[in-house]
Amino acid sequence: MAGRLIDPKNTIELIKKRDFGFKKRFGQNFLVDERVLSRIIEGAEITKADSVLEIGPGIGTMTEALCEAAGAVKAVEIDKELIPILSETLSTYSNVEVINADIMDLDLKSLFLGPFKVVANLPYYITTPIVMKLFESGADIESVTVMVQKEVAERMQAKPGGKDYGVLSLSVSYYAEPEIIANVPPNCFIPRPEVSSAVIRLKRRSEPPVAPIDRELMFELIRAAFAQRRKKLSNSVANSGGLGFTKEQVALALFDMGLDPMIRGEKLSLSEFSELSDRLLEMK
């Protein structure tokens, strides 16, 4: 390639030369804004000591910058039509490996020998499953710096009580400290997405901020609370048959915690969900 792909002229030229057709089903919106790209690389705090996983390199726009900043890069791309294009655009870099796979099928623990960082302009159709897989995989991930739909970024960093607060906010806060580091309008991509975007950095915590006796029960309570978020927490939990707690048991546990027994789940913090799960466990 004569010039950087982040320059829209070069991206358009390559797409035409290769007769590449964008696939909506893979969430293909390629970044063409230099300032946003620099913000992502800076925000991810990448150095030559780092190994980086990029999810969905596309034609290699962000990969070029990652190869220059990081020690080693692995880029996982689902679209096999992009693989020969990536061989061309990344031919000058010897520290990158492109893997043609669905990120959801990969064993993340075996990708690198040591810790690694994740950087990506994520496909929006599958953002939440990818982020949850990254954290739940058990892989040694230091941080996740990703472009996502703006609303999703706001849900990830929402605090109790607000309309954006929910399962995603609580799950993210269990694993990481989230921070939105850039807002990105649709004209920074080709083709333009219908929604606004944001870059969020999720710094992995060394230890979760809570340690419930039964972690799975805590997450089941969280899911039950937000499956019926307009209802009182005691009703949502009792209505969730599989959990096996009565409305009265939940109300009593909330009362013992000094909370209003009629409270809705959207008001509870992660540590309150953790305490509630421990108290309910004692009542079993």
- Candidates 42-50, 100-108, 259-267, 269-277: pick the segment binding ligand SAM (CB under 6 A): 100-108
Asked if 6 and 34 touch (Cβ cutoff 8 Å), the reply is: yes
Q: Least separation, in Å, of the C-beta of 126 and ligand SAM?
A: 6
Q: Which stretch binds ligand SAM (CB under 6 A): 20-28, 171-179, 194-202, 265-273?
A: 20-28
Sole binder of ligand SAM in the list 76, 153, 233, 263 (CB under 6 A): 76
Work out whether 77 is an interface residue with ligand SAM (CB under 6 A).
Answer: yes
Name the token pair of 255: 């009362």
Angstrom distance (rounded) from CA 221 to CA 273? 7
- Residue whose CB is less far from ligand SAM, 53 or 221: 53
Distances (CA, A) of 190 to 61, 123, 182, 262: 12, 13, 18, 49
Residue choice 41, 46, 62, 158 for contact with ligand SAM (CB under 6 A): 62
Least spacing, CB of residue 142 vs ligand SAM, in Å: 20
**Neighbour tally for 80: CB within 10 Å:** 9
Residue 234's Cβ-count burial label (10 Å; 0-12, 13-18, 19+) is: buried
Looking at residues 186 to 205 of the shown chain, list those that interact with ligand SAM (rule: CB under 6 A).
none
Measured from the Cβ of residue 93, the count of other Cβ atoms closer than 10 Å reads 14
Check if the beta carbon of residue 29 is closer than 8 Å to that of residue 189: yes
Minimum distance, C-beta of residue 189 to ligand SAM, in the bound complex (Å): 7
> In this chain, which of 31, 202, 263, 268 binds ligand SAM, going by CB under 6 A?
31
Smallest distance from ligand SAM to CB 56, Å: 2
Q: How many CB atoms lie within 10 A of CB 209?
A: 13
Least distance from C-beta 25 to ligand SAM, angstroms? Answer: 8
Residue from 78, 224, 263, 276 touching ligand SAM (CB under 6 A): that is 78
Nearer to ligand SAM, 28 or 145 (CB): 28
Q: Evaluate whether 142 touches 117 at the Cβ level (below 8 Å).
A: yes
Residues 217, 222, 226, 229, CA torsion sign: positive
C-alpha distance across the termini of the chain, in Å: 65
Binding mask 106-135 for ligand SAM (x = CB under 6 A): ---------------x-x--x---------
Total interface residues for ligand SAM by CB under 6 A = 22
Minimum gap (Å) between residue 135 Cβ and ligand SAM: 17
* Nearest residue to 168 via CA among 205, 130, 142, 195: 130
Nearest distance in Å: CB 125, ligand SAM? 7
Which residues are CB-neighbours of 115 under 8 A, at least 6 positions away?
51, 140, 141, 142
Q: Indicate the residue among 26 and 273 with the shorter CB distance to ligand SAM.
A: 26
27 or 212: CB nearest ligand SAM: 27
Interaction site with ligand SAM (CB under 6 A): 26-31, 55-58, 61-62, 76-79, 102-104, 121, 123, 126
